[in-house]
Structure 1
Amino acid sequence: MSILPAMIKQGEQARLFPVLADTSREGRIASIFLALLPTIPALAESVLGTTGLRIGKRTRIGTYTEIVLKDASEIGNRPDGLIVVETGKTTWTALVEAKIGKAELDADQVSRYLEAAKANGIDAVITISNQFVARADVSPLSLPKNTLKKAGLFHWSWTWIQTQCDLISYQKEVHDHEQAFLLREFHRLLKHPATGIERFTQMGPHWKEVVQAVATQEVLKRTSAEVEETVNSWFQELRDMSLLLSSHVGQPVTEKIDRNLLGESSARVKEGCRTLTEQSRLFGSFVVPGAASDIEVCADLMRRSIVFSMKLKAPQDRKSTKARVNWLLRMLKDDDPRLAIRAHWPGRKPPSQKDVSVLRADPEALEEERSDAAPHSFDVLLIEVDAKRFAGRRTFIETLEACSRDFYDLVGQNLRAWQTPPPKPIKTPEAEPDAADRHEAEDES
């Protein structure tokens, strides 16, 4: 696509080796990324697929930088790029705005780009920054709903793009040697600290203050700036942790969000603030392909503990508590002191919990006063308690992410959900021939 699209009056094809000022880090990395989309189909399919596009063999992709739109009268209304995707007679276009380092997206600027997209017949605006979101169709910005009707709005974090490169490499989706080389070099560039791409590394400035307030039993207001900041930081970390786990397991790990809150960032933050102020806890959940169940995580500010867990249904073909516990223990290879098992019982009996090391020695230790029934389900837990590191903005994140990998290595990869075994054939004694059959056999003889 060497001819400029009709809606732009000035622009350049995205270059793999852009000639830009040393201060233009955003323009340089945006140009490199956009230049790779037409070159590496697997990368284009991975990232553009989040906008609803299907990238096939007949798809043609054009990418441009330093563009000036024909219908754009405002000074400074110059997006960082344009993507044009042609499949047959269908053309889809998107403006691109990129930020790097500590720079965050500006709501007014993105609103102007949405206006410009509508005026120029452009389908979408894509923002890229170090800000994290749960899904590509959820923006980190709070924009009026009427603004969002002008064009589609999508967001990718640079770390998410880096993770897509990881997954493409792990799953060996690129067979062309030149493409594989370019993908490796781009991934190396994204990981270099000088590039300005950052993971989520610390909670908000008021984290220690909120933790201390919970410890002293002060009343937290769900509408306070400190509480909202803490919840927003937690949601950013959950998204980053899903990317971290994706790279760790080589499969896309997704954050599980209540359907009623999906896409409603303000409602989700409001619910998170309610949970934090009422329970002094922060919750999250992840879906790992092929795992026995979702991975749940809870940060308990009162106890200053981090808990990862998975729930399993107890095997119904084993009747005693001992047999059911042993079934679970056989899947847990290591006796890490942080591991515990919680049993859930029929009726209104409260759950009981013991360390894995205790249950190795005595599988019936969970029973206590419940010898009349067997547990119907188990939670396998990893419990990390470190009050000093928990209160630190950066050390909390470090501990949380280390525990996420440890839990998957110790528990997540080993658990298998119980399934009802197939029925066995019924063995019946051979029937004696009746009198008529005997007479018939005698006549034939």
Structure 2
Amino acid sequence: MAQESWHEARLIPTSGINGAEEQERRATSALLAVLSAVKEFGRALTHQFGAHAGTVQTYIEVPFKLGEQTVIPDGLIQVTRGSRVWTALVEVKTGQNELVTTQLENYLDVAREQGFDALLTISNEIPPVAGQHPTKVDRRKTKRVALHHLSWTQVLATAVLQKEFRGVADPDQAWILGELIRYLEHPRSGALEFEDMGASWVPVRDAVRNGTLRSSDKGVDEVANRFDALLRYASLSLGRQLGTEVTPVLSRKELADPALRTQALVATLAGSGTLSGAIRIPATVGDVIVDVDLRAGVVTCSVEVEAPREGRPTTRVNWLVRQLKGAPETVRVESRIAHQRGAGPTELLRTVRETPASITGDTAREIRSFQVSLSQPMGTKRSRGRGSFIDSVLDAVDAFYGDVVQQIKAWSAAPPRLRTDVEIAEIIAEQPDTAAALVSTAVSSQDDEKH
């Protein structure tokens, strides 16, 4: 038998998964086992919820009495250091299954009675704002017990970042973490990617095209929240590839009150048929702005690049063009000129390469920055696949980062350079009147008395 046809034994196999219940149980057991076995991964996942550093122990299907009934959370995590103990119950959903309010409220009651610290939920639901829970529960039940949520996408991103970029000290533990990553990436694991824009996508999309959408229409809020969830997924996906934490950009007010962000998206969707958001990638020249025009059917990604603070206008343009030598010629470049109202001179990159002066505008005015953008057709389907809205946004973000953003380095002034004796002598020879300014032989209080 040819060795190429042999299947390598896997620590966490995907074969034999029969139904949603088995899928959920296996995903829970695999995750919690690796959480306790790989200390770096366990720490990376638990510290964000307030757990201290310590020994991580995990359990599955722990029964508790709640009044007359017995409730069985999917798992339990306990972090111990000396006399300090942090404990969280865990509830897991896989596939398209969603978290259930009554179930979560029962577990919150159990956690309160047992003196536990938190309830952690894991599912494929991605809330529009980090820290927000996808399931509404009675707020009174979270006064003494914290409620946290992780999407499977976030779990996978954390695992990849830890193994491939941050590192795992023990080679055997690194292999174990790699087996979890392989399992979660398999389609049968139930750890799905962002798959659907929701049931309201099609009617809202069509109403925008027809010019009949109102901000009070049913489903507009859902589409706005799904768009923000898509941006979060795009951030996690890109961060997993880059080995760094990529995050959506929100104001302090929006973080404190996510409803403000939803209201703003609903207003622009109903008013101009557009959705917009931003993604922040560490060590880049600026935030990536993602604009979707549902009426025009276009996805546009852009970044603001600060122009050099010295040199002629064409010199500043050439500085940018040199860095975009590998970018598509359909990239659009706009100059932002000092004291100019409205849009600045704009051309496609192919024109700017041939004629840098085409976007310098009034040469008496200073170019402050450039807006570099790239557009591509928008998909319309609600689910993943060919012609999908989700895929068109993800492809646009990845392509723009790879072709444009990662190529650009922020401008920095060259450090001042000391003149050599030869250069000073040449200046003095050409301009004798400047000798006194360049060379001083006057006596100073700082001179040594012997001299």
Coarse TM-score class (shorter-chain normalised): 0.7 to 0.9
Deviation at 1:281, TM superposition (A): 1.4
Deviation at 1:134, TM superposition (A): 5.5
What residue in structure 1 maps to residue 114 of structure 2? 120
The yes-or-no answer on 1:168 pairing with 2:162 is yes
What residue in structure 2 maps to residue 9 of structure 1? none
Amino acid at match of 1:199: E
Residue by residue over 1:163-182, the C-alpha shift from the partner in whole angstroms, topping out at 9 and shown as x without a partner, is 11211222151132211111
The yes-or-no answer on 1:344 pairing with 2:353 is no
Residue by residue over 1:25-75, the C-alpha shift from the partner in whole angstroms, topping out at 9 and shown as x without a partner, is 2122101111111110111121112112343xxx111111111125x2253
Query: Structure 1 residues 101, 21: CA separation in 2 closer, same or farther (over 3 Å shift)?
Result: closer
What residue in structure 2 maps to residue 325 of structure 1? 317
1:32 to 7, 30, 55: 30
Deviation at 1:144, TM superposition (A): 3.7
State the identity as a percent: 29
**8 Å contact kept, 1:238–1:255:** yes
What residue in structure 1 maps to residue 228 of structure 2? 235
TM-score (norm 2): 0.85
1:150 to 140, 144, 147: 144
Query: Structure 1 residues 341, 255: CA separation in 2 closer, same or farther (over 3 Å shift)?
Result: same
Q: Map 1:381-396 onto structure 2 (within 5 A).
A: 381-386=373-378, 389-390=379-380, 393-394=383-384, 395-396=388-389
What residue in structure 2 maps to residue 401 of structure 1? 394
Q: Which moved more, 1:116-125 or 1:199-208?
A: 199-208
Residue by residue over 1:301-332, the C-alpha shift from the partner in whole angstroms, topping out at 9 and shown as x without a partner, is 222111111111111112x3211111111111
The yes-or-no answer on 1:67 pairing with 2:56 is no
Q: Map 1:268-283 onto structure 2 (within 5 A).
A: 268-283=261-276
The yes-or-no answer on 1:206 pairing with 2:200 is yes
Amino acid at match of 1:34: L
Q: Which moved more, 1:320-329 or 1:422-431?
A: 422-431
Gaps of 5+ in 1: 1-14, 435-439
**8 Å contact kept, 1:94–1:122:** yes
Residue by residue over 1:107-126, the C-alpha shift from the partner in whole angstroms, topping out at 9 and shown as x without a partner, is 22212211221111011000
Q: Distance in 1 between matches of 2:327 and 2:119?
A: 50
Q: Tell me the secondary structure at the aligned position of residue 126 of structure 1.
A: strand
Amino acid at match of 1:186: L
Q: Distance in 2 between matches of 1:253 and 1:29?
A: 26
**8 Å contact kept, 1:205–1:393:** no
Q: Distance in 1 between matches of 2:277 and 2:87?
A: 35
Deviation at 1:432, TM superposition (A): 5.0
CA RMSD in angstroms, aligned pairs only: 2.6
Q: Map 1:69-218 onto structure 2 (within 5 A).
A: 69-70=64-65, 72-73=66-67, 75=69, 77-133=71-127, 137-171=131-165, 173-218=167-212
Q: Tell me the secondary structure at the aligned position of residue 162 of structure 1.
A: helix
The yes-or-no answer on 1:414 pairing with 2:414 is no
**8 Å contact kept, 1:333–1:410:** no
Deviation at 1:76, TM superposition (A): 5.7
Deviation at 1:251, TM superposition (A): 1.4
Amino acid at match of 1:397: I
Q: Tell me the secondary structure at the aligned position of residue 255 of structure 2.
A: coil
2:351 to 355, 358, 363: 358
**8 Å contact kept, 1:285–1:295:** yes
Query: Structure 1 residues 94, 214: CA separation in 2 closer, same or farther (over 3 Å shift)?
Result: same
Amino acid at match of 1:297: V
Q: Distance in 1 between matches of 2:414 and 2:138?
A: 54
Q: Distance in 2 between matches of 1:313 and 1:21?
A: 56
Residue by residue over 1:89-122, the C-alpha shift from the partner in whole angstroms, topping out at 9 and shown as x without a partner, is 2111101000010100112221221122111101
Deviation at 1:87, TM superposition (A): 1.6
**8 Å contact kept, 2:74–2:90:** yes
**8 Å contact kept, 2:88–2:119:** yes
Q: Distance in 2 between matches of 1:244 and 1:324?
A: 34
Q: Which moved more, 1:264-273 or 1:179-188?
A: 264-273
Q: Distance in 1 between matches of 2:102 and 2:46?
A: 25
**8 Å contact kept, 1:114–1:125:** yes
Deviation at 1:162, TM superposition (A): 0.9
Residue by residue over 1:245-276, the C-alpha shift from the partner in whole angstroms, topping out at 9 and shown as x without a partner, is 01221212112222111153334323321232
**8 Å contact kept, 1:113–1:125:** yes
Q: Distance in 1 between matches of 2:402 and 2:17?
A: 44
Deviation at 1:135, TM superposition (A): 6.2
What residue in structure 2 maps to residue 430 of structure 1? 439
Q: Tell me the secondary structure at the aligned position of residue 67 of structure 1.
A: coil
**8 Å contact kept, 2:52–2:79:** no
Q: Distance in 2 between matches of 1:213 and 1:135?
A: 26
Q: Distance in 2 between matches of 1:116 and 1:301?
A: 46
**8 Å contact kept, 2:330–2:350:** no
Residue by residue over 1:400-435, the C-alpha shift from the partner in whole angstroms, topping out at 9 and shown as x without a partner, is 11111111111121111223444445874223558x
Q: Distance in 1 between matches of 2:101 and 2:239?
A: 30
Q: Distance in 2 between matches of 1:260 and 1:31?
A: 39
Gaps of 5+ in 2: 1-10, 425-436, 444-448
Amino acid at match of 1:67: V
